[in-house]
Amino acid sequence: MSGRLADLGVDVAHLTICGDRPADLLAQLRFLAADGVDLIVTTGGLGPTADDLTVATVAEFAGLPLRQDPQIRQTIDTVIRTWRQVPADATLPDALVAAIDKQALVPVGARAIPPTGTAPGVAVPAADGRPAVLVLPGPPHELQAMWPTAVRTDAVVEAISGRVIGEQRTIRAYGLSEPDLAVTLREADDAVPGLADVEVTTCMRGGELEIVSRFDGTASATYDALADLLIARHGDKVFSTDASTIDDLLVSRLNGRTVATAESCTGGMVAARLTDRAGSSAYLLGGVVSYSNEVKTGVLGVPAELIAELGAVSEPVAAAMAEGARRVTGADIAVSTTGIAGPDGARPGKPVGTVCFGVAVAGRETVTVTRLFPGDRDSVRRLATTAAFHLLAAAL
């Protein structure tokens, strides 16, 4: 939702999470109001169980009584009857009637947003120096389906009407450390006049450094000067200047070609990420998760003697795995991963975090590389998955 709000030019100052305790939620709502936000958006707590108390708590916060909205009640009743295949003339059990009654309660003066599951959303207009409140369902598909209607309610449109639509630019780098970037940003403090007008935040995630800059239109030239300096110092590590991700870059570089995977330590994470997007069947043919050495040999054709001699975590085995994936799937390009995710498995010269990669491309010699990733099992697997994407993109 922060991303969607940013798309609308709305700046998110606070993100809070609380358990199903009305007192905690109320305290958070009051804090946000006291901090002067224009709009509070809540998700979750609209269900039928007694711990789902968002609407009642928001009503208390806003000092509004609750009333049952008959139209909404009818809608929920119909949804439930359809789902449970109960005819319109049959009586529902008392407990279910109570649940429906509860979900149809709306604060007086607020607008109910038709349910995309069973629970309606609620848009409470701002008043008396308190912000507007938009109450949305928790389940992602219900939330996403309700969003377009929700942001068009009068309460929300008015609450955000005062926003200054600024610019936001994202530069992404891989293989650049935060300390090295910090050195360049300090250089920029001196070299780029007016840099204080550009709000720069950085975040290292999955091995990638995300540099987000926010500024209003008048500082556009300042941002360009900053971006030029970053490219001048780190251009070899920067892979995106328009917020596009390595996933976007890889898909565009594949450009009609097909890809396959051969994974050991990443266990399927690379293939899974390659199939995240709609339309991925156009480029991802498939892959093999060859966790055991027998599967590396039996399915990918990696010679057993090679594994016995050099170990499964070696560049020649990675090469054979990638070539095997190409062979059994017919893909134009394949990437392999074989490594030690940990915590066990370290060998002399191969500590936990060691991962070998192979990239096999039609008509070219297979490329291999060994990397050492920090952190625990999950960290090694995630960093290796991202690395596989960068290796594929680089090979294309």
Is there a contact between 171 and 241 (Cβ–Cβ < 8 Å)? yes
Token couple for 187: 């250089």
Is there a contact between 334 and 292 (Cβ–Cβ < 8 Å)? no
Stretch that binds a copy of itself, among 15-23, 67-75, 149-157, 246-254 (CB under 8 A): 15-23
Member of 58, 225, 328, 393 binding a copy of itself (CB under 8 A): 328
The answer to whether residue 342 forms part of the interface with a copy of itself (CB under 8 A) is yes
Query: What contacts 12, CB < 8 A, 6 or more positions away?
Result: 2, 5, 6
The answer to whether residue 285 forms part of the interface with a copy of itself (CB under 8 A) is yes
342 — alpha (psi -120 to 50), left (phi > 0) or beta?
A: left
The answer to whether residue 279 forms part of the interface with a copy of itself (CB under 8 A) is yes
The answer to whether residue 229 forms part of the interface with a copy of itself (CB under 8 A) is no
Member of 80, 150, 251, 367 binding a copy of itself (CB under 8 A): 80
Smaller CB separation from a copy of itself, 279 or 363: 279
Is there a contact between 178 and 209 (Cβ–Cβ < 8 Å)? yes
At position 389, the amino acid (one-letter code) is: F
Site size for a copy of itself, by CB under 8 A? 89
| Window 181-200: contact mask with a copy of itself (x via CB under 8 A) | xxx-xxx-x----------x
Query: What contacts 102, CB < 8 A, 6 or more positions away?
Result: 48, 52
Member of 123, 133, 151, 270 binding a copy of itself (CB under 8 A): 270
What single-letter DSSP state applies at residue 312? S
- β-bridge mates for residue 369, sequence order: 357
Stretch that binds a copy of itself, among 159-167, 222-230, 313-321, 342-350 (CB under 8 A): 342-350
The answer to whether residue 286 forms part of the interface with a copy of itself (CB under 8 A) is yes
Stretch that binds a copy of itself, among 49-57, 152-160, 236-244, 246-254 (CB under 8 A): 49-57
Helix (H) or strand (E) holding 121, with range, is strand 121-124
Nearest-approach distance from CB 209 to a copy of itself, in angstroms? 10
Member of 29, 55, 62, 99 binding a copy of itself (CB under 8 A): 99
The answer to whether residue 343 forms part of the interface with a copy of itself (CB under 8 A) is yes
Helix (H) or strand (E) holding 174, with range, is strand 167-174
The answer to whether residue 48 forms part of the interface with a copy of itself (CB under 8 A) is yes
Q: Which residue has the tokens 């556009």?
A: 220
Member of 7, 8, 14, 82 binding a copy of itself (CB under 8 A): 14
The answer to whether residue 247 forms part of the interface with a copy of itself (CB under 8 A) is no
- β-bridge mates for residue 204, sequence order: 209
Q: Give whole-number Cα distances, 104 to 75, 153, 301, 353, 374, in Å.
A: 9, 18, 61, 53, 51
Member of 140, 162, 256, 363 binding a copy of itself (CB under 8 A): 140
At position 285, the amino acid (one-letter code) is: L
Member of 51, 154, 224, 309 binding a copy of itself (CB under 8 A): 51
